């Protein structure tokens, strides 16, 4: 028999990680399936250097720090976490449990499911330059773990606000920062952000493109522009947009509204035993906030617990039962 879990969470972003933690509070055997190579979701990719203010108890916390704290919280209940997998199908078995199949053909067995995978999967547009395959470890598509650039020379390739934000965040960490934009202007950037950029030490290269990467055979050391100028660079960060793939919710048997899953007040979907939380869900007056996802996660977990054990309490209080601190 394959190992069966009480609940399998699809999505390892902040909502999915908090869902896993709360499952531990309900004494549920838990698994998390995440598409990206690492957990953290959109906060890790898009807001790691930004301060987040909508989570109670934090006057302002950087996205990267929030992800690290939520991940630490989730790990305290020791869930099984599988990354780099995409759930392609969900089938309900005769006993009411589920089998989730991934793109690699692996199967995961679970009594209940909580969908916390947002609006779908995404991949960053990759840079294709001579030397890029050789120096892949020096090329980054997110600014996670910003301290890794301390004292280094960094270059950012981007024509958007994301690239401007990355460059400005790196200014206080890296010894030198270059921002390379193939265009004369940046997309979706506020005027005051451009003023800050121009007043900073970031070296902006407008209407320029990177054409070649070079190094010592192991690490990147320089980057060539189409102007034949070579820049000394230790790390290259790239944001050239996203390849967004819509969710497979309908293929899983879950109808959608505006790309999201309609749920009841208990976060239930149209399939008994499957619940949802976070950006994946739709209901009247839904707010797309991290704090909302945390609240929905608790409701979804409590509903899953009652599905498995109808005699279980409808909710629990951390001050009374949390045994992992």
Note the Cα 302 to chain centre separation in Å: 24
Reported pTM: 0.80
**For 124, phi and psi rounded to 5 degrees?**
-75, 145
Higher pLDDT, 45 or 174: 174
Q: Do 134 and 128 form a contact (C-beta atoms < 8 A)?
A: no
Residues 218 and 215: their CA atoms lie apart, in Å, by 7
Which range in 10-24, 132-146, 310-324 is most confidently predicted, on average pLDDT?
10-24
Residue 2 zone, left/alpha/beta (φ > 0; ψ -120 to 50; rest): beta
**For 278, phi and psi rounded to 5 degrees?**
80, -155
- Cα radius of gyration rounded to whole Å, the chain: 22
Task: Single out the residue of 48, 84, 14 nearest to residue 297, CA to CA.
Answer: 14
4-122+243-321 matches 126-240 in fold: yes
Residues 323 and 66: their CA atoms lie apart, in Å, by 23
pLDDT band at 63 (very low <50, low <70, confident <90, very high): confident
**For 214, phi and psi rounded to 5 degrees?**
-145, 155
Task: Single out the residue of 154, 10, 142 nearest to residue 89, CA to CA.
Answer: 10
Residue whose tokens read 């020791």: 78
Spans of all domains in the chain: 4-122+243-321, 126-240
Beta bridge pairs of residue 123:
243
CA quadruple 261, 266, 271, 275: dihedral, nearest 10: 60
Q: What is the pLDDT of residues 145-162, one digit of tens each?
A: 888 999 999 999 999 998
Higher pLDDT, 1 or 6: 6
Q: What average pLDDT does this structure show over 54-82?
A: 92
pLDDT value of residue 325:
45
39 pLDDT above the threshold of 90: no
Task: Single out the residue of 215, 207, 67, 44 nearest to residue 141, CA to CA.
Answer: 44
State whether the Cα torsion 166-171-173-178 is positive or negative.
Answer: positive
Q: What is the pLDDT of residues 246-301, one digit of tens each?
A: 789 999 999 999 889 999 999 999 999 999 999 999 999 999 999 999 999 999 99
Q: Which helix (H) or strand (E) holds 65?
A: helix 63-75
CATH topology of domain 126-240: FAD/NAD(P)-binding domain (3.50.50)
What CATH class does 4-122+243-321 carry? Answer: alpha beta
* DSSP state letters, 231-282: EE-SEEEEE--EEEEE--TTTTT---BTTBEE--TT-B-SSTTEEE-GGGEE
Give the chain's mean pLDDT. Answer: 91
pLDDT above 70 as % of the chain: 98
| Six token digits for residue 253 | 């048997």
pLDDT value of residue 319:
60
Q: What is the pLDDT of residues 167-224, one digit of tens each?
A: 999 999 999 999 999 999 999 888 899 999 999 999 999 999 999 999 998 899 999 9
Q: What is the pLDDT of residues 103-144, one digit of tens each?
A: 999 999 999 999 999 877 777 788 888 988 899 999 998 887
pLDDT band at 320 (very low <50, low <70, confident <90, very high): low
324 pLDDT above the threshold of 70: no
Higher pLDDT, 50 or 113: 113
pLDDT value of residue 2:
87
């Amino acid at each position: 028999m394959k190992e069966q879990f009480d609940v399998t969470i699809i999505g390892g972003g902040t909502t999915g990680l908090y869902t896993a933690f709360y499952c531990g509070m309900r004494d549920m055997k838990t698994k998390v399936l995440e598409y990206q190579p690492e957990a953290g979701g959109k906060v890790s990719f898009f807001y790691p250097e930004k301060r987040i203010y909508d989570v109670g108890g934090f006057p302002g916390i950087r996205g990267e720090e929030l992800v690290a704290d939520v991940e630490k919280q989730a790990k305290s209940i020791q869930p099984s976490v599988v990354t780099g997998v995409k759930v392609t199908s969900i089938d309900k078995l005769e006993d009411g449990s589920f089998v989730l199949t991934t793109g690699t053909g692996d199967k995961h067995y679970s009594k209940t499911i909580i969908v916390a995978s947002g609006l779908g999967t995404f991949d960053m547009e990759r840079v294709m330059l001579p030397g890029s395959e050789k120096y892949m470890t020096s090329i980054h598509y997110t600014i996670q773990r910003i301290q890794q650039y301390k004292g280094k020379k960094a270059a950012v390739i981007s024509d958007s606000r994301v690239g401007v934000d990355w460059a400005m965040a790196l200014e206080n960490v890296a010894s030198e920062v270059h921002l390379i934009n193939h265009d004369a202007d940046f997309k979706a950037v506020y005027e005051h952000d451009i003023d800050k950029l121009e007043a900073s030490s970031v070296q902006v290269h407008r209407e320029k493109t990177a054409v070649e990467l070079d190094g010592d055979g192991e690490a990147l050391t320089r980057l060539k522009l189409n102007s034949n100028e070579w820049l000394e660079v230790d790390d290259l960060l790239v944001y050239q947009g996203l390849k967004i793939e819509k969710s497979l919710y309908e293929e899983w048997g879950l109808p959608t509204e505006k790309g999201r899953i309609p749920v009841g007040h208990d976060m239930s979907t149209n399939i008994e035993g499957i619940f949802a939380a976070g950006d994946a869900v739709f209901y009247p007056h839904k707010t797309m906030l991290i704090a909302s996802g945390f609240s929905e996660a608790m409701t979804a977990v409590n509903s899953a617990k009652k599905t498995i054990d109808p005699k279980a309490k409808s909710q629990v209080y951390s001050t009374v039962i949390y045994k992992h601190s």
